[in-house]
Each structure stands twice: as structure tokens, then as C-alpha cells.
């Protein structure tokens, strides 16, 4: 069962609508008991890093989430701030992240970005996967996704990088470490490519 962590942040209904459209069972988890039965976990997020971590802690689901992901190795997909929360910390605030990756979240260096409007990185951009399996299976070589962010995920282990995008400099827009996956872009706003990615996640 695809379970969407509903801790008050992220467009949870948009993900549910996509999964229902492609006939994959989906449910929401607002409590630890509801989360416990998940076979696949979607962790969405929008807004500020510290606020997202605070809301997750307040939901009471954090210990169960850590257990399912780190001990029971159930597949998880973090999206946008949900991905950033998987790092140790963020330049955006003071809260500790989930620490599932040896990574930090950094603010883009605006001096390296061309154009009048530099931040946030908003709109469609090309995504280059390191391989065409897993999340990016059956995507082809022209995958494009919708972004909206001013901070990026910076893993210290290059083998964690699953895909890259260029905005000023090249950055990791998707990461993977075993059962833990994260994407900086919004698959729920990315039309056919986003639908395929969510379908691929359900098959992991």
C-alpha cells in the first residue's frame, strides 16, 4: 500500500489523485498507527525546513517513520522539502534533519545564476538520470520536471546521486541510498514524467 505521510505540509491529495488514476491503492497516514502498515511511503513537503521538521515531530509519526525506513527498509520517496528533510541539516534553519543521508541542504549561490530572476529556481528543467532503472525507468532521455526551490540537496557521497539538473551549477535533483529516495522537483506537477516516476516508485 502506498502511504502518503500527511503531517500538514505538501499537496497530498495531488499524489493520491495520480495513484488512483493509475489504479494503485493509496492511503494517508496522520498517526503512527496509520503509518505502520505502509509498504511504500511518500513524504511530501513544502515551505521552510525548520517548520517542516517541527510539523513532522508534532505529528507523532517520526519514531515510526525512522523505524520503517531505517530498520525495516521499506521504500520511501521524499519530495521537495520532504527530500531536504532527509539530510542532516539545512542552511535555511537550525533544526536537525532526519539524517538518512550524509548530506546538507545548501542555498544556491545567486552570483552563479544567470538571468534577472535568480531565486527561487522555478519552472521546468531538464533532469539527467545516472541510469534508466528504478525511479527513472521508461523515461527516455528527455525527462523534464517542475521545480520550485531556493535550496538544494548536497550529498557528500557521490554514489547517492540518482539524477542531476543544472541551475547555475549542476546539483543533485534526485538521490538514492538503498530503500531511501528523494527528488527535489514536483512529480505531481510534472505531467507524464511525474506520473511515470510515481508509478516506478510503487514498483520498487
Segment 1-16, tens digit of pLDDT: 999 999 998 889 999 9
Find all residues with CB under 8 Å of 123, minimum gap 6, and list them: 146, 147
pLDDT at residue 114, as a whole number: 72
Could you confirm whether 188 is annotated as catalytic? yes
pTM higher than 0.85: yes
CB-based contact 125:145 (threshold 8 Å):
yes
| Matching residue, cell 519552472 | 123
C-alpha 14: how far from chain center: 15
Residue tagged active-site, from 80, 92, 121, 149: 80
Residue 93's pLDDT band, with cuts at 50, 70 and 90, is very high
Residue 87's pLDDT band, with cuts at 50, 70 and 90, is very high
Could you confirm whether 186 is annotated as catalytic? yes
Q: Which pLDDT tens digit goes with each residue over 63-72?
A: 999 999 999 9
State the maximum Cα–Cα separation within the chain, in Å, rounded to a whole number: 48
Find all residues with CB under 8 Å of 131, minimum gap 6, and list them: none
pLDDT at residue 115, as a whole number: 67
What gap in Å lies between CA 100 and CA 135, rounded to an integer? 18
Q: Which pLDDT tens digit goes with each residue over 160-182?
A: 999 999 998 899 999 999 999 99
Helices 12-21 and 191-202: angle between axes, nearest 10 degrees: 80
When computed from its CA atoms, the radius of gyration of the chain, rounded to whole angstroms, is 16
DSSP character string of 60-83: T-HHHHHIIIIIS---EEEETHHH
Q: Name the class of domain 2-202.
A: alpha beta
CB-based contact 88:103 (threshold 8 Å):
yes
Query: Does residue 190 register a pLDDT over 90?
Result: yes
CB-based contact 105:97 (threshold 8 Å):
yes
pLDDT at residue 132, as a whole number: 81
CB-based contact 124:166 (threshold 8 Å):
no
Sequence spans of domains, the chain: 2-202
What gap in Å lies between CA 2 and CA 125, rounded to an integer? 27
CB-based contact 8:59 (threshold 8 Å):
yes
Amino acid at each position: 500500500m502506498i502511504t502518503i505521510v500527511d503531517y500538514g505540509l505538501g499537496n497530498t491529495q495531488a499524489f493520491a489523485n495520480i495513484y488512483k488514476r493509475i489504479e494503485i491503492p493509496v492511503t494517508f497516514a496522520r498517526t503512527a498507527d496509520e503509518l505502520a502498515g505502509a509498504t511504500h511511503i511518500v513524504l511530501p513537503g513544502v515551505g521552510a525546513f525548520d517548520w517542516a521538521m517541527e510539523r513532522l515531530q508534532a505529528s507523532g509519526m517520526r519514531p515510526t517513520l525512522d523505524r520503517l525506513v531505517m530498520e525495516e527498509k521499506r521504500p520511501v520517496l521524499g519530495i521537495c522539502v520532504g527530500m531536504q528533510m532527509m539530510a542532516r541539516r539545512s542552511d535555511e534553519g537550525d533544526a536537525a534533519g532526519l539524517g538518512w543521508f550524509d548530506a546538507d541542504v545548501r542555498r544556491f549561490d545567486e552570483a552563479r545564476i544567470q538571468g534577472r530572476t535568480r531565486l527561487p529556481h522555478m519552472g521546468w528543467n531538464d533532469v539527467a538520470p545516472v541510469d534508466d532503472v528504478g525511479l527513472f525507468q521508461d523515461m527516455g532521455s528527455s525527462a523534464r520536471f517542475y521545480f520550485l526551490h531556493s535550496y538544494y540537496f548536497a550529498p557528500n557521497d557521490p554514489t547517492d546521486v540518482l539524477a542531476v539538473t543544472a541551475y547555475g551549477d549542476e546539483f543533485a535533483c534526485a538521490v538514492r541510498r538503498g530503500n531511501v529516495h528523494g527528488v527535489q522537483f514536483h512529480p505531481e506537477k510534472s505531467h507524464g514524467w511525474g506520473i511515470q516516476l510515481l508509478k516506478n516508485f510503487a514498483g520498487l
